[in-house]
Amino acid sequence: MTGRLKNGHQKVPKSDSLCIDVGRLKGETFQAMIDSAPNVHHKAFEPVPQQYVFLKEQFRQQGRYISICIGNENKQTTFHHVVIIQRIPDFSSDNTRVKRPLMK
């Protein structure tokens, strides 16, 4: 992604660079990376299956997508996706939505 240097000039990754987005959620950061540096390699990591499928379709032309979690150890473990607040209705199935009473 581009950034600003102290003198106001933009810094842009070289064409052989790799831009990585971990935990893409809705894809805004990934889209900004693509827009600001379209000629570099882009990879995105998203562990939540519903979000991975949606975002893979949304960005199918712009990069590589890997449906895994990223951690600080080289091991395999169980990923627990806990929905506390429904932030993104499009990605949640009916059994993961939080039901809230309507306020009058």
Summarised one tens digit per residue, pLDDT across range 15-69 is: 788 888 887 667 788 888 888 888 888 888 888 877 888 877 888 777 677 777 7
SS3 89: helix
Query: Whole-model pTM?
Result: 0.55
Taking alpha carbons only, the member of 88, 90, 46 closest to residue 64 is 46
Q: Is the pLDDT of residue 96 over 80?
A: no
Token pair, residue 18, equals 């790799």
Phi, then psi, of 55 in degrees rounded to 5: -70, -35
Q: Are 38 and 18 within 8 A, CB to CB?
A: no
Distance, in Å, from the CA atom of 46 to the CA atom of 21, rounded to the nearest integer, reads 9
- Give the residue-averaged pLDDT of 74-80: 79
Q: What is the distance in angstroms between the CA of the first residue and the CA of the last residue of the chain?
A: 45
Phi, then psi, of 28 in degrees rounded to 5: -65, -45
What's 3-77's CATH class?
alpha beta
Q: What is the pLDDT of residue 86?
A: 58
